[in-house]
Amino acid sequence: MKPKYKEYLKLNKNILIGFAASIAISAIAADYFSSQEDYLNTSLTLIVDYTVFFSTFGGLFYLDNRKKYVLENGQTDKSLLKSDLVKIISSLGISEVVYTVARWSLQYYLLLLNYEPYMASIISQMISTVIYMFTINLIIKLTKLFKNDSV
């Protein structure tokens, strides 16, 4: 398997594990905040979602990439690190905006339809995760985060 495909797989694995953790915790949070107004339940659940996702994803991403930027002499390859950080942060940033709009809107709509808060959270997060995965992989392809990537 080509190295760039391994990189895509590692990144997607980390994202999906992060979402799996945040789906479970967010559903619990949505249920916990069920006595709140729908817009407040949705907003608080989204905050919990982000906290769990970024904690999990960040830790896994670091573990997978901690040796990638170390040169043979033990120094950090700062130019490669800076370049990759700009690409991954911009990819995550754009994808997160799309995800946030989709997730918040869907959960709020489902709550208005009287879905149970935990179910509204799970459904909205699953649909938004699919949209997020498509968006982030497209942007990573366009920014050529993984070298030798032709558009």
Residue 149: inside a domain: no
The number of domains in the chain is: 1
Residue 151: inside a domain: no
Residue 148: inside a domain: no
pLDDT digits (tens, 9 = 90+) for 75-116: 888 888 888 888 888 888 999 999 999 999 999 999 999 999
Got the DSSP string for the chain?
--HHHHHHHHHHHHHHHHHHHHHHHHHHHHHHTTTS-HHHHHHHHHHHHHHHHHHHHHHHHHHHHTTTTB-TTS-B-HHHHHHHHHHHHHHHHHHHHHHHHHHHHHHHHHHHTT--HHHHHHHHHHHHHHHHHHHHHHHHHHHT-SSS---
Residue 104: inside a domain: yes
pLDDT digits (tens, 9 = 90+) for 24-74: 999 999 999 999 999 999 999 999 999 999 999 999 988 988 888 888 888
Residue 18: inside a domain: yes
Residue 150: inside a domain: no
Residue 61: inside a domain: yes
Q: Which domain holds residue 84?
A: 3-66+76-143
Give pTM, 2 decimals: 0.80
